[in-house]
Each structure stands twice: as structure tokens, then as C-alpha cells.
């Protein structure tokens, strides 16, 4: 893999992330309030982004519905099911990932 | 001093359990994708944001454009601005520690900071040590995961599903708290449409852009 590309990718990610963390100190440092529309948007946008990312994670299922699709479906159901049941993040990640890896090898 | 550190450590124990575990999965996933432990350490040191670090592995190994990375980082981490907003005054009073506090704010340290009673200087020191310890846990786990990934004798194919699992859990949490499910449904529908139309190689960027635009319009129109 191209080292330069990787380092630029990491650097850009770091700068964008730090800029976002520092943004309120630059713009709103003087006690000004964030516009209400932005505050409202900040409450609803994360759910949209997360939904897009889940589809991104599962994109392989479209190309290989059986080989990737079925293990993914099992993994998501185990993760979601156990999380609904116990609300334990670590347990659900562990069981979901293990079940995905197991089904991936069976199919 | 010792007393404050002990308080901070106790506050950080839940973060320790989750960070060591999740960042170890991250380190193993990086190793599995061909990135040695020092890349995991570098990313954890400079970017330091849980969910996006996982996405970055996939973006880097699929050769995504730098623009896609920048925009994904922007949209995934914009919530950090809202966290920081809560603590503008407090961090401004922390002198030399201010920049460190800004850089190390995460979902988890934000949550802990919100539970601290307002004790002035003591609270500021506790926040600092919680941030410091959390960042250590994250880096230790990432490096340990990378090294573990090298020596684990069996095939770790599929370990990257831990990212999907993490996102499913965040999604369920958001779904349960949400007043309206329209934002989540918009995200799924737009992403699936883009995937079908654009194909899996390039659909992330248009999905994020279109879904965010739809949300901005929907957000402006609702009371």
C-alpha cells in the first residue's frame, strides 16, 4: 500500500476531527449561543449518518448475497437481539462478531 | 493530588473496560487489513475518535479518495462540536491543559464530565486525568490488538464485523432515544438507493451528502 496516501489520509482525518473539536472555541468562545437550527440538526443528524454507515458496512451483501449476506444478517440479528435483551455493549459486539465469523466459515 | 487521581481513576473504570476491548478489536482489524501496530498507534494518537477510526481502516484499504475521508470524518465527528460547546467556559479556564482537553474529548469522557459535581479546580483536574487515562486505555488496547493480531494462530477473517456490531448498537441507542425515526429511515433509504445506483465502490460520499441535505431540509421544515 502507498505509504504517502495512508499518511495523508490519517493527517486529513486528524485535522478535520481536531478542527471540529476546536470549532466552538473559535466561533462561540465569546459566550455566543449556537444557532437553534444547528442545535436541532445536531440532535437528528447522527442517526442518519449511523444508518448510512451501517449500509456501508453491509455493502458486500449486495454483491454476494449468500457468502456475505447470510453471515451479515446473522451477525446483525445476534448483535441487535442481545443488545435489546441485555443492553451490554461489549457482550453484543463479542457475540455478534463471533457469530458472524462462525457463519462465514460454515457457508 | 493522589486523591484527585484516585477519583479520576474510579470515574474512568467504565471507560477502561469499553476502550480496552473496542480498541483491541480495532488493532486486530488494522493488523488484519495489513496495517502494523504503529499505524494503529499513530491514528489513535492523532485522530482519536472511536467509530471513525474503524471506518478509516475500510476507507484506506479500499483506496477511497481523500475527499471521502475528509467528508466522512466531518459528518461522523461533527457531534464533537456539540460536546465541546458544553465545556467552552470550563476548558477556557484550564490554561495549558486547554488544547489537550479539546483534543481528547470523546463520547465517553463527555458523558463522565457531565456527571462531575461542580467543584472548580478539583473538577478540572479530574476531567484532565479522566481524559489522560482514557486516551492511555485506547492507545494501549490499539497496540495490544495489533500485536495480538500478529500472533493469534488462527485466521481472523471477519473480525472487521466488530465495526458493524458497534454501529448497530449505536444505531439502536439512537433509535430508542429519538423523537422521530425519520432521520434513521432517511439514512437507510438513501444509502441503499445510492448503493444500487452508484455501486459499492463509490456510494459512501453521495449517500452522506444526499442524506445530510435531505435532513437539513427536513429539519428546517419541522416546527
Scan for cell 442545535, then name that residue.
A39
Same domain for A80 and A47: yes
Same domain for A56 and A7: no
Residue B11 · residue B116 · CB < 8 Å? yes
How big is chain A, counted in residues?
107
pLDDT in tens, chain A (107 residues): 699 999 999 999 999 999 999 998 888 765 666 778 888 888 888 899 999 999 999 998 988 999 999 999 999 999 999 999 999 999 999 999 999 999 999 98
Residue B216 sits at the vertex; the CA angle it makes with A62 and A57, to the nearest 5 degrees, is: 20
Same domain for A73 and A43: yes
Report residues of chain B scoring pLDDT below 70: 1, 223
Cross-chain residue pair A20–B190, CB shorter than 8 Å: no
Site from B61, B167, B180, B216 to mutate, A interface, most A CB atoms within 10 angstroms: B167
Same domain for A91 and A66: yes
- Which positions in chain B touch A55 (Cβ < 8 Å)? 187-188, 191-192, 195, 207
Same domain for A82 and A69: yes
Same domain for A50 and A80: yes
Residue A6 · residue A14 · CB < 8 Å? no
- pTM for the predicted model, two decimal places: 0.87
Same domain for A48 and A6: no
Domain residue ranges of chain B, discontinuous segments joined by + = 2-157
| Structural domain span for residue A85 | 35-106
Same domain for A39 and A23: no
Same domain for A49 and A15: no
- Which positions in chain A touch B162 (Cβ < 8 Å)? 93, 96-97
Same domain for A48 and A97: yes
- pLDDT tens for each residue of B97-149: 999 999 999 988 998 898 888 888 999 999 999 999 999 999 999 999 999 99
- pLDDT tens for each residue of A13-38: 999 999 999 998 888 765 666 778 88
CB atoms within 10 A of CB B69: 23
The total number of structural domains that make up chain A: 2
Amino acid at each position: 500500500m502507498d505509504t504517502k496516501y495512508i499518511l495523508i489520509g490519517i493527517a486529513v482525518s486528524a485535522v478535520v476531527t481536531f478542527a471540529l473539536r476546536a470549532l466552538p472555541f473559535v466561533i462561540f468562545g465569546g459566550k455566543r449561543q449556537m444557532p437553534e437550527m444547528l442545535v436541532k440538526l445536531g440532535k437528528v443528524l447522527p442517526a442518519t449518518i449511523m444508518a448510512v454507515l451501517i449500509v456501508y458496512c453491509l455493502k458486500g451483501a449486495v454483491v454476494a448475497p449468500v457468502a456475505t449476506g447470510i453471515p451479515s444478517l446473522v451477525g446483525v440479528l445476534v448483535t441487535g437481539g442481545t443488545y435489546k435483551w441485555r443492553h451490554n455493549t461489549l457482550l453484543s459486539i463479542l457475540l455478534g462478531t463471533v457469530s458472524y465469523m462462525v457463519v462465514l466459515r460454515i457457508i | 493530588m493522589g486523591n484527585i487521581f484516585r477519583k479520576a481513576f474510579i470515574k474512568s473504570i467504565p471507560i477502561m473496560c469499553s476502550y480496552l476491548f473496542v480498541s483491541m478489536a480495532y488493532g486486530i482489524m488494522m493488523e488484519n487489513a495489513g496495517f502494523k501496530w504503529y499505524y494503529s498507534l499513530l491514528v489513535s494518537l492523532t485522530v482519536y475518535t472511536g467509530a471513525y477510526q474503524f471506518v478509516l481502516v475500510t476507507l484506506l484499504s479500499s483506496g477511497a479518495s481523500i475527499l471521502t475521508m475528509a467528508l466522512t470524518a466531518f459528518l461522523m465527528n461533527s457531534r464533537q462540536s456539540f460536546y465541546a460547546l458544553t465545556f467552552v467556559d470550563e476548558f477556557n479556564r484550564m490554561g495549558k491543559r486547554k488544547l489537550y482537553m479539546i483534543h481528547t474529548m470523546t463520547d465517553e469522557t463527555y458523558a463522565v464530565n457531565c456527571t462531575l459535581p461542580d467543584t472548580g479546580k478539583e473538577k478540572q483536574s479530574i476531567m484532565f486525568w479522566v481524559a489522560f487515562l482514557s486516551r492511555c486505555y485506547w492507545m494501549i488496547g490499539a497496540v495490544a490488538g495489533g500485536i495480538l493480531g500478529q500472533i493469534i494462530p488462527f485466521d481472523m477473517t471477519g473480525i472487521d464485523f466488530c465495526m458493524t456490531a458497534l454501529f448497530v448498537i449505536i444505531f439502536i441507542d439512537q433509535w430508542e432515544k429519538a423523537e422521530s425515526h425519520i432521520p434513521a429511515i432517511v439514512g437507510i433509504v438513501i444509502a441503499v438507493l445510492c448503493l444500487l445506483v452508484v455501486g459499492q465502490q463509490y456510494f459512501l460520499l453521495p449517500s452522506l451528502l444526499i442524506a445530510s441535505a435531505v435532513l437539513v431540509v427536513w429539519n428546517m421544515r419541522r416546527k
